[in-house]
Amino acid sequence: MKTKFTQKAIFYFFVLISIPAFTQNKIGRELILIDKDWRFSFGHLHDTKKDFGHAEGYFSYLTKTGFGDGPAAKDFDDRAWRKLDLPHDWAVEQPFSESASFSHGFKAAGKNFPEKSIGWYRKKITIPNEDLGKIISLKFDGVFRNSKVFFNGFYLGTEQSGYNGFEYDVTAYVNYGGENTIVVRADASMEEGWFYEGAGIYRHVYLQKTNPVRVVSNGTYVTSELKNNDASVTADVTIENKGNYKGSIEISQTIFNKENKQITAFSESIAAPEFYKTITHSSKLYVQNPLLWDIDSPNLYRLVTQIKQHGKIIDSYETPFGIRTIEFNAENGFFLNGKPLKLKGTNNHQDHAGIGTALPNEIQYYRIKKLKEMGSNAYRCSHHPPTPELLKACDELGMLVIDETRLMGINDYHLNDLKRMIERDRNHPSIFCWSVGNEEWNIEGGIVGERITNVMQDFAKSIDPTRPVTVGISSGFKSGISSVVEIMGYNYLGNGDIDAHRNQFKQQSGMGTEEGSTFATRGIYFTDDAKHYQSAYDKKPRPTFYSIEEGWKFYAERPYLAGVFFWTGFDYRGEPTPYGWPSVTSYFGMMDVCGFPKDNVFYLKSWWGKEPVLHLLPHWNWTGMEGKEIDVWAYSNCDEVELFLNKKSLGKKKMEQNGHLEWKVKYTPGTLEAIGYKNGKKIITEIKKTTGKAENVKLSLDKENILKGNVSVISVEVTDKNGLHIPTANDEINFSVKGGKILGVGNGDPTSLESDQFIDDISFSVITNFMEQKSESASVPKEMTNYDESKWTEAFKERDYKKQAPSYIYKGEFELKNNASANVVSFFYKKIGVETVVFVNGKKVEPSSEDPQKYILNTAILKEGKNTIHIAATPLQKVKDWDVMNTDPGIIQVSTPAASWKRKLFNGYAQIIIQKDENAKEVILSASAKDLRAVSLSVK
């Protein structure tokens, strides 16, 4: 039987378009990536003083427009703040703490850490006079979370979700021909998920400039029919008019193939929409003999939508797209382009070793490639919409995707998020299914769940009728959501009787949206609860959960099930089940957080992939275990495998479909060798050798990945004198880099509390007890003098600006937690006078050459604890009575240099992610370790 969706899909074959390219600079439209050169500082969750006085004003930014105060104000002095580039995740920079969140991997950020839960970002941009008349907007791909954005002090809005993209029109507030200030306040005190979510602006930000008559963001949507191998494409485009133009416009839609050859075009004149109105225009185009988008050949086309006014192009909007058909069949599973395809999927969260959620685009490709290498063809975005670059990677590399919204419900909060996800993503050929929820335990088994699903499902269809809808369901597969959802999403065999459900709901297609949840630590073969290490032999993890092999066999044997998504492809931060502190990452992954494979990868690769596989576990370094029995397993898709220890055969065994082989082997050091046979012929060999002691550090570049961009993934290991990888090595490796920077380090150890990043610490010391004395001299003293201590009064308190003294002496104090000689201590002075001299602890200090209002303070004149600052200055005069005069002398910044980069290997491996400077020819990474030969690697 076919689902409602399938019946439709038989007649409609859909052509899909993906999101606009990464940075567009087309005629009529500019999309400028503005990730570089932001200023960042922590604020405070509830102490407004520590939040730089934000929202303390008599009129707040909600009372009077343009009244953003504290850092939200246009002219706030952020010189002392840290400089950084996006994407940025401040949670990953923090140390670990037992009092931090289990879900978020015990990083010391979030609500229990009010001083690490608010992040302020500021950036200055220049907008030229020529842009007058254009619509200027800011586009954010995602900020975690609850972000408020200000532009030149104007409040633009709040986006609660940490996963939605959002956009603000700033046209009315622009300072043309000059400087403009963008400010973001992110509040990561609350969690949206039960897994690591990062904190801050962890996705890209763009400045967009368009004509007032323009394609709205995510404003293209294309469906088509495929008949006799020709695609008839319907390209809808929504156009808005943010100006006063009245008259006709011409809309043209042109399709290009991947060689950039124009395939077909269509154009038509229509009346422009009225002021602030939109219209949706539909065109039909034909593509003869299209090259279909498939997982093995992800063919993409490009649609260029242009708007012309009086013959001139005023907007150009580009959309890569792919042509393919999808179909769910309740009897026979899933079909891509008319051919049956078992979904071999994984669930994944969005963080990676060393860098948290701030993934450069290159890492999206790295991760999707790793999953494809395992034979996987499908990816479930659990449990929220992903960053656009993940979908771009899936489109380009051929990975099917379930795109999932965050929270179930039928009000604006929920439906609006769902709508934005679908409108943003509905053109990606990789997406084959929308998921409107996951394991909503409160509602899944009852009538409320049924009602909500009915609304969300129909709502999704109203925006995109071309894809079916699923929900991941865990508590029983009988009533509630499971009785109405279009594609039943089974979360775990142990949660109910899947065959019984299917027999009751024969019309309903189904797939395993989650399966597995097994525990394994890479390179560990004996569970050690004291150390929080779980053996990597695939086993049933808990009474109601099943091994990866049991899970795959179940789904593989049932054609009616479209496929399965294992929990998870990669380990992630948080949810360190079955343990807790000090374990900080999950144990569920087929790969660890770096992407180093656990043995399960080879089980799946054997039965999911196409190439011959032969993998042995464990390693063969078991000093002290001589004569003891060790379980040796082989993962392979060969017909037979023969195992040898030191050339002596231990027997040839027949491989069962979707199975594995086991031997009990008494440990003797040497060579364990397996030979795989197909149709009686030797086709593959695998060797595990006992290694000698560690001698060399080895660095290897992930070559697959270096073609794209400046970011590289490098594996770190140690080898013996014969160059053999040592699988038990846990050496600490030190790193240094030239021509670029290190973004993060990791090693896949779920219990590692080592730093992910080594960055300079920036802290502030506020000047307190700020006092003044009048001076009768019109010039400021050149040397420190002794002042009558009884004469100090509170600075600026009684100031009569009409009768100011010729000059003033101010005195204040600041505390230093320590006075380490490596610290760089700077006083960022804010003008409180005209001619100014500054003394610290009685010594005159000079302004720096780069900034006359910055003083770099030599630590020789500073001390731990209380320090004194004197400022002698002739006063600033008011020009107008109502001028508000600065009374804040500025702030002391203490920059403590980071320790040098290092990471221990974990069972033989660590990973380091490096980024080449844009102008450098190469980046050179050096690695050294105690008693080992050091090594350098150059990436061009």
Cβ-based nearer residue to ligand GAL, 471 or 729: 471
Q: How far is the CB of 429 from ligand GAL (least distance, A)?
A: 26
Exposure on the CB side of residue 530, measured as CA atoms within 13 A: 0
The pairing of beta strand 740-746 with beta strand 910-916: antiparallel
Of 159, 327, 439, 673, which one is the catalytic site residue? 439
* Residue numbers 659-698 binding ligand GAL by CB under 6 A: none
The beta strand positions in 739-801, using DSSP E, are 740-746, 761-766, 768-775, 793-794
Cβ-based nearer residue to ligand GAL, 100 or 473: 473
Distance CA 90, CA 107 (A): 10
Cβ-based nearer residue to ligand GAL, 351 or 514: 514
Of 159, 327, 514, 515, which one is the catalytic site residue? 514
Cβ-based nearer residue to ligand GAL, 382 or 387: 382
Q: How far is the CB of 523 from ligand GAL (least distance, A)?
A: 22
* Residue numbers 575-614 binding ligand GAL by CB under 6 A: 575
Q: How far is the CB of 519 from ligand GAL (least distance, A)?
A: 10
Taking CB under 6 A as the criterion, the residue among 51, 362, 403, 514 binding ligand GAL is: 514
The beta strand positions in 113-204, using DSSP E, are 118-127, 135-140, 147-151, 154-159, 166-169, 178-187
Q: How far is the CB of 518 from ligand GAL (least distance, A)?
A: 9
Cβ-based nearer residue to ligand GAL, 567 or 620: 567
Distance CA 167, CA 223 (A): 26
Work out whether the CA dihedral 726, 732, 734, 740 comes out positive or negative.
positive
Strand order through the sheet with 761-766: 761-766, 890-896, 824-829, 854-857
Whether 514 is catalytic: yes
Shortest CA distance to 811 belongs to which of 790, 826, 828? Answer: 790
CB 870 within 8 A of CB 845: no
- The answer to the question of residue 538 lying near ligand GAL (CB under 6 A) is no
- The answer to the question of residue 474 lying near ligand GAL (CB under 6 A) is yes
Distance CA 474, CA 498 (A): 11
Tokens representing 750 are 């779920």
Shortest CA distance to 672 belongs to which of 693, 642, 694, 700? Answer: 642
Binding-site string for ligand GAL from residue 339 to residue 378, where x marks contact by CB under 6 A and - marks none? ----------------------------------------
- The answer to the question of residue 439 lying near ligand GAL (CB under 6 A) is yes
Contacts of 799 (CB under 8 A, 6+ apart): none
Task: Give long-range contacts, CB 8 A cutoff, 24+ apart: 700-709.
Answer: 700/937, 701/937, 701/939, 702/366, 704/366, 704/369, 705/362, 705/365, 705/366, 705/369, 706/939, 708/361, 708/362, 708/365, 709/360, 709/361, 709/362
Cβ-based nearer residue to ligand GAL, 438 or 483: 438
Q: How far is the CB of 423 from ligand GAL (least distance, A)?
A: 25
Q: How far is the CB of 565 from ligand GAL (least distance, A)?
A: 11
Q: How many helices (H) and strands (E) does the chain have?
A: 9, 55
* Residue numbers 554-573 binding ligand GAL by CB under 6 A: 567
Q: How far is the CB of 193 from ligand GAL (least distance, A)?
A: 8
Cβ-based nearer residue to ligand GAL, 176 or 194: 194
Cβ-based nearer residue to ligand GAL, 516 or 889: 516
Taking CB under 6 A as the criterion, the residue among 146, 325, 350, 438 binding ligand GAL is: 438
Shortest CA distance to 382 belongs to which of 509, 519, 491, 296? Answer: 491
Cβ-based nearer residue to ligand GAL, 583 or 757: 583
Q: How far is the CB of 470 from ligand GAL (least distance, A)?
A: 13
CB 63 within 8 A of CB 173: no
Amino acid at 183: V
Q: How far is the CB of 421 from ligand GAL (least distance, A)?
A: 18
Cβ-based nearer residue to ligand GAL, 39 or 104: 104
* Residue numbers 376-395 binding ligand GAL by CB under 6 A: 382
Q: How many CB atoms lie within 10 A of CB 4?
A: 12
Beta bridge partners of 226: 231
Distance CA 940, CA 938 (A): 6
CB 205 within 8 A of CB 125: no
Residues of the chain by 3-state class (helix, strand, coil), percent to 5: 10, 40, 45
Contacts of 849 (CB under 8 A, 6+ apart): none
Angle, helices 600-608/548-556, rounded to nearest 10 degrees = 20
Q: What secondary structure does DSSP assign to 86-122, as a single string?
A: SS--TTTTS-B-TTS-TTTTTBS-STT-GGGSEEEEE
Taking CB under 6 A as the criterion, the residue among 117, 517, 823, 826 binding ligand GAL is: 517
Q: How far is the CB of 386 from ligand GAL (least distance, A)?
A: 15
- The answer to the question of residue 435 lying near ligand GAL (CB under 6 A) is no
Q: Exposure of 859 by Cβ count < 10 A (0-12 exposed, 13-18 middle, 19+ buried)?
A: middle
Cβ-based nearer residue to ligand GAL, 438 or 690: 438
Residue with nearest beta carbon to ligand GAL: 517
Amino acid at 467: R
Between CA 19 and CA 24, with CA 22 as vertex, the angle to 5 degrees is 95
| Distance from the Cα of residue 256 to its chain's centroid | 31
Q: How far is the CB of 575 from ligand GAL (least distance, A)?
A: 6
Whether 850 is catalytic: no
Q: How far is the CB of 544 from ligand GAL (least distance, A)?
A: 11
Cβ-based nearer residue to ligand GAL, 382 or 470: 382
* Residue numbers 620-659 binding ligand GAL by CB under 6 A: none
Cα separation values, 658 from 545, 551, 557, 566, Å: 18, 10, 10, 15
- The answer to the question of residue 404 lying near ligand GAL (CB under 6 A) is no
Q: How far is the CB of 607 from ligand GAL (least distance, A)?
A: 22
Distance CA 570, CA 740 (A): 27
Beta bridge partners of 893: 764, 826
Cβ-based nearer residue to ligand GAL, 514 or 673: 514
* Catalytically active residues, by annotation: 439, 514
Provide the binding-site residues for ligand GAL, judged by CB under 6 A.
382, 438-439, 474, 491, 514, 517, 567, 575
